[in-house]
């Protein structure tokens, strides 16, 4: 069942060095569940800039999906939806690298504007996310955890918790 009143969020975990190639992506589905995927590097990304501080190369290779598959799945899952993300804890360039690798057009509207994040999570959302991360033990640098924390912050602000 889809609840059109739920806010949808996206996060991309990246390599810790510029230009921040994506390692994992997570997004909220319209039913409120979260989907995530490890990302196999595109052939055009330099090998020395395709790593994670907490995920092994062998794990990414064994469990990752191609950039194309991840984007096509996102497009299917989020078709015609408005999705919000931010670049405070993981650089926003991560999603741009995904899209640029295939030159694919997103089927959903993505906003990383501060005003859009503030509208959903409140003006103090940065502090709220860090407080929630501390309370729950979730890691703001991991894409799936970041999406879960944005959901929790939104739910708390809107009286759903």
pLDDT at 4 (0 to 100): 52
- Is 56 inside any structural domain? yes
Q: In the predicted model, is pLDDT for residue 91 greater than 70?
A: no
pLDDT, mean over the chain: 88
Going by the DSSP 8-state scheme, the letter that residue 2 receives in this structure is: -
Interacting residues of 2 by C-beta distance below 8 A, sequence separation 6+: 30, 31
**In this structure, are residues 69 and 40 in contact, taking their beta carbons and an 8 Å threshold?**
no
Q: What is the pLDDT of residues 11-44, one digit of tens each?
A: 998 888 888 888 999 999 999 999 999 999 888 8
The token pair that represents 16 in the structure block: 């810790």
- Is 151 inside any structural domain? no
- Is 130 inside any structural domain? no
What domain range is 91 assigned to?
A: 8-116
C-alpha–C-alpha distance, residues 90 and 78, integer Å: 21
* Number of structural domains in the chain: 1
pLDDT at 55 (0 to 100): 86
Cα distances (angstroms) measured from residue 130 to each of 32, 58, 77, 90, 111 = 21, 30, 28, 13, 21
Secondary structure class of 27 (helix, strand, coil) = strand
pLDDT at 141 (0 to 100): 87
Q: What are phi and psi of 145, to 5 degrees?
A: -65, -40
- Is 143 inside any structural domain? no
- Is 3 inside any structural domain? no
- Is 128 inside any structural domain? no
Q: What is the pLDDT of residues 63-81, one digit of tens each?
A: 999 988 999 999 999 999 9
pLDDT at 161 (0 to 100): 64
Cα distances (angstroms) measured from residue 99 to each of 12, 77, 90, 148, 150 = 12, 16, 16, 23, 23
CATH number, residue 12: 3.30.420.10
């Amino acid at each position: 069942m889809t609840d059109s009143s739920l806010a949808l969020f996206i996060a991309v975990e990246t390599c810790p060095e510029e230009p921040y190639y994506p390692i994992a992506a997570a997004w909220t589905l319209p039913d409120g569940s979260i989907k995530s995927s490890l990302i196999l590097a595109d052939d055009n990304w330099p090998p020395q800039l395709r790593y994670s501080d907490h995920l092994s190369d062998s794990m990414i290779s064994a469990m990752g999906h191609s950039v194309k598959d991840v984007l096509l799945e996102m497009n299917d899952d989020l078709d015609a939806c408005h999705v919000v993300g931010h670049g405070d804890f993981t650089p926003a360039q991560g999603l741009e690298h995904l899209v640029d690798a295939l030159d694919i057009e997103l089927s959903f509207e993505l906003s990383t504007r501060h005003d859009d994040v503030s509208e959903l999570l409140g003006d103090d959302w940065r502090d709220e996310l860090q407080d929630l991360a501390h309370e729950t033990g979730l890691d703001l640098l991991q894409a799936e955890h970041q999406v879960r924390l944005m959901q929790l912050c939104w739910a708390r602000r809107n009286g759903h918790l």
